[in-house]
Amino acid sequence: MHHDIEDLRRFYYQRALGRVVQRILRDRLTGRWRPGSCKGMNVAGFGFAAPMLRPYLETARRVTALMPGPQGVMGWPAGLPNHSVLCDETAWPIETGSIDRLVVLHGLETSDHPAALMTEAWRALGPGGRMIVMVPNRAGLWAASERTPFGLGRSYTAGQLEGQTLKAGFVTEWHGSAVYIPPSDRRFWLRSAQMWERTGARISRVLIAGVVLIEVSKQSKGMIGPGVKVHVPSPLDILDGVARPRPVRSPTARGRIIVSPYARGEPIGSNG
């Protein structure tokens, strides 16, 4: 089951509770990725991450809000050139390795193919790129409430979320939690939301949050083994001579062994 774009828009932009949640999650995000530190970067969001991306519009090189087809799409941001794109959840119109920062909100828990979604996120991120995923906490009250977007789809524990990203090859950098108030529209909870967030950050083992967050990075390994065709001879070997030739594979020779002149002990510039 997928979210409906109209339900998400009403919750985050028209409902008082949704605006409080938007502020809480956006503060957690900008606390990790300050807009000034993302200057010149390509920033993207998948699911309904548009409310999280506004702080980066002025500093990032490009900001893109990717919205899955079953959910629907809306024009965003209001009053400015459109930055939102309707896409398949496992085939984004994004060049491979072109994203520096990626936010996933209301995308993973309702995905029909969560593993393939994480694979697509890996493809879109560049080396050293980072992703923050926000999902409903399985142990929290928000996952049990059908009156908010966090009550739809799969909920996660912190360990399950980390396991999902590790399978896709990501490296965990940080994990946290947010939204410690109950899913209530009562003024007391809305007015005291920031106080509960500060308290929850200090005693998170006591209070149960509604949202689990994880920050992961894409680390690309350097090429090793047969892919490396460079041979650097030891200066001592050149001066002392080499007893017998050492085979060195040529990048232009398929299956043939070519002996380097250095390996034969020939001096540099020798015509022999």
Global confidence as pTM: 0.80
Residues near 238 by beta carbon (within 8 Å), at least 6 away in sequence: 262, 265
Give CA separation, 218 vs 43, 65, 91, 127, 131, in Å.
15, 20, 19, 6, 8
Percent above pLDDT 70 for the chain: 80
**Residue 166 in tokens:** 């590790």
Question: pLDDT tens digits for 55-110?
Answer: 999 999 999 999 999 999 999 999 899 999 999 999 999 999 999 999 999 999 99
The 3-state secondary structure of 117-146, one letter per residue? HHHHHHHHEEEEEEEEEEEEECCCCHHHCC
Backbone dihedral angles phi then psi of residue 271, each to the nearest 5 degrees? -95, -5
**Residue 119 in tokens:** 């694979």
Q: Is residue 21 packed enough to be buried (19+ CB in 10 Å), middle (13-18) or exposed (0-12)?
A: buried
255 compared with 229, residue with greater pLDDT: 229
**Residue 151 in tokens:** 């009550």
Half-sphere exposure of 106 (CA within 13 A, CB side): 30
Other residues' Cβ atoms within 10 Å of the Cβ of residue 129: 24
Residues near 159 by beta carbon (within 8 Å), at least 6 away in sequence: none
Is residue 91 a contact partner of residue 23, using CB atoms and an 8 Å limit?
A: no
Determine the Cα–Cα distance for residues 187 and 235; give it in Å rounded to an integer. Answer: 77
Is residue 158 a contact partner of residue 208, using CB atoms and an 8 Å limit?
A: no
Residues near 32 by beta carbon (within 8 Å), at least 6 away in sequence: 132, 174, 215
Give CA separation, 182 vs 10, 81, 221, 243, in Å.
19, 36, 43, 78
Question: pLDDT tens digits for 178-222?
Answer: 999 999 999 999 999 999 898 887 776 657 899 999 999 999 776
Question: pLDDT tens digits for 115-156?
Answer: 999 999 999 999 999 999 999 999 999 999 889 999 999 999
Taking residues 19-43, what's their average pLDDT? 96
